[in-house]
Amino acid sequence: MNRFQWGDTNLSLGEDSLTNQTGIALYDGESKTNFEGGVANITSHRLVWKEQYGRTTCLSLPLSLVQRLEEQASGFAKSAKIVVHLSSPVSGQQAGPASSSKYDYIRLSFRDGGQQEFLRYLVQALREKKWEKKYVPPAPPGAPPGAVAGRHRPGIVGIERSIQQKQQQTDTSIDQSFQDLKKLMEKAQEMVSLSKSIVTKIRDKQGEITEDETIKFKSYLLSMGIPNPVTKETHGTGDKYYRELAKELASVLEKPIKDCGGMMTMTDVYCRVNRARGMELISPEDLLNACETFEELRLPIKLRRFESGVMVLQSSTHSEEEVIKKTTEVVESKGSLTAEELAQNIGLSVILAKERLLLTERVGGVCRDDSEEGLRFYPNLLLTKT
Amino acid sequence: MGSVEKPWQFNFPPFFTIQPNIDTRKKQLEAWCEYVLEHQKNKNSHSLDINEAHSAIFTNKDINRKLPMDGVQMVLEELRKKGHLEWKDPKVQKECLIMWRTPEEWGKLIYKYISSKSMINTVCTLFELANGDDTEGEAFHGLEDWLLRRALQTLEKDGKAELMSFDGNEGVKFF
């Protein structure tokens, strides 16, 4: 930090401003400083940091002191950083925020991102070393083009060249953006392997932690998702894929289906499964195809289509008599019910509640009252009362 | 004529929705048929206009329910199948004759009365039967002419009576 000087943002003769980046915090080596949330500015001669608001504090660092640069990638709750290694301070430098420092480097933390571009300009400025050159005033207009060669060439060649330049620029920016994506993918992979390793660790150390804790932790992990989802890449295509997927679905859904009364609509299933799978989403069609193999594989859940066209998954142990009996009882105890009221009463979706009522009606358990006030179901007194 | 005693179903809202379940619907239609006949019997009326009946018989203002028209037709069709109803014009189906006792039932009633009075093998006029002083108090007293004739025709078919006409009067002889 002792290489910094109090400075100003005014450019000296021959100095160019290259880029600005907001959200920069300065670190003196490993330790934090009070200089946070500022704007960093690279000029051809200096690295300037100033407060983003207020703008009273302004620090400058001559680029001549920079020895080399190092990049630190961002991590969990950590911004990306650039480490700037510095040579020892020259004697007789102007006053700065610190008189001495135990570090030979400072770090710039990029809390708003943008370190890639910033680094590029910094490298460029270091390579050009403009601070060593004597300032040459630009050639006056009309002078033969020499110093600024190539840049403003007129005519077709000039146009072609500028088009080429633009293309190059887009190419590089596309490359860069894909680089970022690649990194993200790698991180996701890491997360998956991490969760897997936790699962195996739990399995190995089952003796050391109590049963209770294991169960609790496992349930956390399960709620996080499916640790190793079946994908087309890993399990082939076509029927084989669907069968594997069906097995996965059965193991994941068996319990939730039982918990919500033995039946779940396909829309709910679709949402739940994809939430659990996280990255490896499946299409509705794949889901349906997989569900159609349930019966053949003798899995504990089955696909069922109601006459209304509503599709649900229901557990094989699900008994209709039970549902009919229960629905009849609820309707009898309430006097009369609409599908919405039944849904609230037993905690089901309205679609399923209606299916239950229709099923019960089909066997004569309830009868309907279809008026302007909506469709209500009554205990079937027409049959039972004489 | 006192007002008809309404069946309990009349205050049960599902009664006014034709039930999709076949068993339930059967019971429902039975109840409706009974109610319609009871209503007609109470009014001692044998004809029914379907539109009038819709608002008079098939509506319960208290619970704001009305059996829809197709439901009404279903009930009437059920009555027809049981022999209680005849359309005055089967093509239009607007007005109908409701026989809360079928002609057969009337015939049996009359025959029972005749035999109890040992009037078998005697002749009496139709007017005597329906409006005579002797039959006052009998169920068929005041029976409309057309229905009386229909009832006697059923007896005739069984060979228990013979309709005859003389001097512009109509009479019947029981066997």
Chain A residues with CB-CB distance to B14 below 8 A? 367-369, 378, 381-382
Same domain, A242 and A124: no
Element (H, E) at B157: helix B145-157
Please tell me the distance in Å from A333's CA to the nearest CA on chain B: 16
Question: Which residues of chain B are within 8 Å of residue A368 when distances are taken between CB atoms?
Answer: 14, 17, 19-20
Report the alpha-carbon distance of residue A183 to residue A297 in Å, rounded.
40
β-pair partners for A80: A110
CB A369 to CB B64 under 8 A?
no
CA distance to partner chain A, nearest, from residue B63 (Å)? 11
Give the separation between CA B3 and CA B20, rounded to whole angstroms: 31
Q: Does a structural domain hold residue A139? A: no
**A251 token code pair:** 């193991």
**Number of structural domains found in chain A:** 4
Residue A173 lies in a domain: no
Q: Is there a single domain that holds both residue A20 and residue A110?
A: yes
- Residue B85, pLDDT score: 83
Q: Domain holding A308: CATH number?
A: 1.10.10.10
The 8-class DSSP code of residue B124 comes to E
**A-chain residues near B65 (CB < 8 A):** 369, 371
* Other beta carbons less than 10 A from residue A143's beta carbon: 10
pLDDT per position as a tens digit, B16-54:
999 998 888 998 898 888 888 888 888 777 788 888 888
Contact A64, A131 (CB under 8 A): yes
Distance from CA of A323 to the nearest CA of B (A): 18
The answer to whether residue A164 sits within a structural domain is no
Based on the domain organization, do A252 and A364 belong to the same domain?
no
Give the Cβ contact number of residue A144 at 10 Å. Answer: 7
d(CA B162, CA B151): 12
Residue A369's domain spans which residues?
320-384
Whose tokens are 């300037």? That residue is A48
* φ/ψ (deg, to 5) at B93: 55, 50
Can you give the pLDDT at residue A55?
A: 66
Query: Are both A13 and A85 inside the same structural domain?
Result: yes
Q: A12 and A118, same structural domain? A: yes
Q: How are the residues of chain A apportioned to helix, strand and coil, as percentages rounded to the nearest 5?
A: 45, 20, 35
Give the pLDDT score at A147. 44
In a domain, A55, yes or no: yes
Q: Which two tokens stand for residue B93?
A: 């189906």
Residue B11 to chain A, least CA–CA distance (Å): 12
Domain stop point among A315, A346, A366? A315
> Is residue A288 one of the residues assigned to a domain?
yes
Rounded to the nearest angstrom, the minimum Cα separation between A361 and chain B is 7
Question: A301 and A325: one domain?
Answer: no
**Tell me, what CATH number does A18's domain have?**
2.30.29.30
Does residue A118 share a domain with residue A94?
yes
**B116 token code pair:** 């109890």
**Residue A149 has what pLDDT?**
47
In this structure, how many other beta carbons lie within 10 angstroms of the beta carbon of residue A201? 10
Q: Which two tokens stand for residue A254?
A: 């068996």
- B55 vs chain A: nearest CA distance in angstroms? 16
Question: Residue B91's pLDDT is what?
Answer: 79
Residue A364 phi, psi dihedral angles, 5° rounding? 85, 15
Which of residues A296, A315, A334 is at a domain's end? A315
Going by their DSSP bridges, the two strands A374-379 and B169-174 should be labelled as: unpaired
Q: Which of residues 20-79 of B touch A (CB under 8 A)?
A: 20-21, 23-24, 27-28, 31, 64-65
Instruction: State chain B's maximal CA–CA distance in angstroms.
Output: 58
pLDDT by position in tens, chain A (length 386) = 788 888 777 777 778 888 888 888 888 888 888 888 888 888 888 888 888 776 678 888 888 888 888 888 887 778 888 888 888 877 767 777 777 778 888 888 888 888 888 888 888 888 888 877 766 655 555 544 444 444 566 788 888 888 999 999 988 888 887 777 777 777 777 777 777 777 777 667 655 556 666 666 666 555 555 666 777 777 777 788 888 888 888 888 888 888 777 888 888 889 888 888 877 788 888 888 888 888 888 888 888 888 888 888 888 777 778 888 888 999 999 888 899 998 888 878 888 888 889 889 988 889 999 888 889 999 988 888 76
A243: which residues sit within 8 A by CB, 6+ positions away?
A290, A293, A297
A220 and A267 share one domain = no
Locus of tokens 């919405």: A340
B32: nearest CA partner in chain A: A382
Distance set, CA A41 to CA A85, A327, B49, B117, B136 (Å): 18, 72, 97, 129, 121
Q: Which residues contact A171 (CB under 8 A, 6 or more apart)?
A: none
Q: Is residue A153 part of a domain?
A: no
By the 8 A CB rule, do B104 and B141 touch?
Answer: no
Which residue on chain A is closest to B14 by alpha carbon? A369
Domain membership flag for residue A355? yes
Q: Are A9 and A41 in contact (CB under 8 A)?
A: yes
Side-chain half-sphere exposure of B105, counting CA atoms within 13 A: 10
Spell out which residues of chain B touch residue A382, defining contact as CB-CB under 8 Å: 9, 12, 14-15, 19, 24, 27-28, 31
Other beta carbons less than 10 A from residue A225's beta carbon: 17
Residue B27 has its nearest CB partner, among A376, A378, A382, at A382
Listed in sequence order, the DSSP H helices in A101-230 are 115-128, 155-204, 211-224
Residues A328 and A304 in one domain: no
Q: Is residue A335 part of a domain?
A: yes
pLDDT at residue B1, as a whole number: 41
Q: How many CA atoms lie within 13 A of A331 on its CB side?
A: 30
Domains defined for chain B, CATH in brackets: 8-98 (1.10.10.570), 103-174 (1.10.10.10)
For testing contact with chain A, the best of B10, B11, B12, B21 (most A CBs within 10 A): B21
The pLDDT of residue A145: 47
DSSP sequence for A235-281 = H-SHHHHHHHHHHHHHHHHHHHHHHTTSEEEHHHHHHHHHHHHTTS-
Angstrom distance (rounded) from CA A73 to CA A127: 23
Q: Give the pLDDT score at A156.
A: 85
Do residues A200 and A87 both lie within one domain?
A: no
Do A215 and A118 share a structural domain? no
Mutant choice from B9, B24, B61, B62 vs A, greatest count of A C-beta within 10 A: B24
Last residue of a domain, one of A68, A103, A131: A131
Residues A199 and A275 in one domain: no
User: Per residue in B56-85, pLDDT tens?
Assistant: 888 888 888 888 888 888 888 888 888 888
